[in-house]
């Protein structure tokens, strides 16, 4: 998520293994990979994937991840397909990814207007 515009730049749906962290890093736009600072939780895999000069592993008390956490909560509230007990829940990963893509497109478009 961009710190100034609050738009979502990239996403990757999988678990937090090393290979998936590499895929996630590859999806981030090149300009961000070169110049941005990345704030993550203290999971050691991110330190292995991201350049040390740009990576900041922080605790939740530092309050640098509150915007992405708010976005995650908004995603769970607005997309009932992601809630296990909901009637719209789907077991197909492709359906989840498509729904998340639609949510991100709508979210980013409304962030531009805001």
89 or 30, higher pLDDT: 30
pLDDT > 70? residue 112: no
In the chain, what are the domain boundaries? 18-113
End-to-end Cα spacing for the chain: 16
* pLDDT confidence band for 27 (50 / 70 / 90): very high
Helix (H, G, I), strand (E, B) or coil at 47: helix
Residues 98 and 73 sit within 8 Å (Cβ to Cβ)? no
Percent of the chain's residues with pLDDT above 70: 96
Span 45-86, pLDDT tens digits: 888 899 999 998 887 777 777 888 888 888 888 887 777 777
């Amino acid at each position: 998520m961009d710190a100034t515009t609050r738009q979502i730049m990239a996403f990757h749906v999988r678990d937090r293994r090393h290979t998936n962290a590499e895929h996630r890093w590859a999806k981030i736009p090149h300009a961000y990979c070169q110049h941005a600072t990345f704030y993550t939780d203290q999971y050691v895999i991110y330190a292995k994937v991201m350049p040390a000069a740009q990576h900041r592993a922080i605790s939740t008390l530092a309050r640098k991840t509150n915007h992405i956490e708010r976005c995650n909560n908004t995603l769970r509230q607005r997309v009932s397909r992601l809630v296990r007990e909901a009637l719209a829940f789907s077991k197909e990963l492709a359906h989840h990814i498509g729904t998340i893509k639609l949510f991100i497109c709508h979210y980013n478009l409304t962030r531009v207007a805001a």
